[in-house]
Amino acid sequence: MAYVAVAPPKTLGEDPLKKVASLIGKEIFDTRLLLAGEIPRIIASYPNTDTADSAAQSLRDTGLVAFVCRDSELRNRSARFVAHATRFGEREIIFWDRRGGEVRVKADDAFLIIRGRKQSTTQEKTSTTKMKLNVPATVLTGGIPIMRRVTQKTTQESFLAEDFVRIFDRSSSDPRVEMFQNHVDYTFLGREVTPSTPVNFKIVVTKLREWFPLAIFDERLTRHFKTDVPAAGPGEALEIACKLIYLCHLASERRPGGRE
């Protein structure tokens, strides 16, 4: 399965819109909805990449940033390097994980920095004990109230959100390095460290942008988004959206004229 995805355009004239609708075999109204939003949208699927490539080229001819992605690539998730600390070197940035593993990224190797927010849910089971009137026993005693203990079990669902940042090069849609807000040792900030974890993480993101001045910075995933591919929960939906954003920036850079 191969998908054709596009970057939602800021504006699209009526004639190009009609042409796009004709190319993907949809009504104009449905096509307009598909081309709305901020996150790259999958607008068509094909049984093979050759057909998808042809359709993507036709869409590019209308002025859209269109690209092809395989279902397997969108759903693939390889082992990630999760950085715990970092340091700016002479020509590269050094990242360490909790086990002492090390990744070095040269300042001009970073292609894209994505900042996003990962949401998850946790379920907590609680038990409460209440006293309840025992009707049969009360009847047998001639109306004298007889109480009994009743245990009620409930499940409470809570939502957790954590910011992250991912650094990509041009070789893969999997990040070279990712950092999570609550899994960073901020002591490397020195005098800049604050008592607030969110503030510290914001400082880290700012430093990454300074250390990788040529990298594109994208923070659309800090807001709500919708995925066009069926996903097994918000976690997979986030991964799919992240890959689509990467592939979209790559396609945009490769089109005539370079980055938008």
- Whole-number mean pLDDT of the chain? 88
Model confidence pLDDT, tens digit, residues 57-75: 999 999 899 999 998 888 8
pLDDT > 80? residue 256: no
End-of-domain residue from the set 157, 173, 208: 157
The predicted model gives 141-152 an average pLDDT of: 77
Same domain, 91 and 219: yes
Give the number of other Cβ atoms within 10 Å of residue 44's Cβ.
21
pTM, to two decimals: 0.81
Model confidence pLDDT, tens digit, residues 72-116: 888 887 788 999 999 988 789 999 999 999 999 999 999 999 999
pLDDT band at 122 (very low <50, low <70, confident <90, very high): low
Same domain, 192 and 233: no
Considering only CA atoms, which of 49, 67, 58 is closest in space to residue 19? 58
The CATH number assigned to the domain holding 233 equals: 3.30.1390.10
Looking at residue 217, its pLDDT comes to: 97
Same domain, 237 and 128: no
Looking at residue 12, its pLDDT comes to: 82
Same domain, 90 and 215: yes
Which residues make Cβ contacts (< 8 Å) with residue 214, sequence separation at least 6?
Answer: 107, 108, 110
Same domain, 128 and 251: no
State whether the Cα torsion 217-221-222-225 is positive or negative: positive
Q: 234 or 212, which is more confident? A: 212
pLDDT band at 148 (very low <50, low <70, confident <90, very high): confident
Same domain, 146 and 229: no
Same domain, 209 and 234: no
Ranges of H-type helices in 133-233: 135-140, 197-211
Backbone torsions φ then ψ of 245, nearest 5 degrees: -65, -45
Same domain, 231 and 129: no
Looking at residue 232, its pLDDT comes to: 66
Burial of 16 (0-12, 13-18, 19+ CB in 10 A): middle
Considering only CA atoms, which of 16, 119, 26, 59 is closest in space to residue 248? 59
Q: Number of structural domains, the chain?
A: 3
Give the residue numbers spanning the domain of 17. 1-75+224-260
**What's the CA gap between 32 and 39, in Å, rounded?**
15
C-alpha dist (Å) from residue 237 to 130, 162, 168, 178: 42, 16, 19, 17
Amino acid letter, residue 208: L
Same domain, 17 and 109: no
Looking at residue 158, its pLDDT comes to: 65
Same domain, 39 and 50: yes
Same domain, 135 and 169: no
Same domain, 98 and 180: yes
**What's the CA gap between 258 and 249, in Å, rounded?**
10
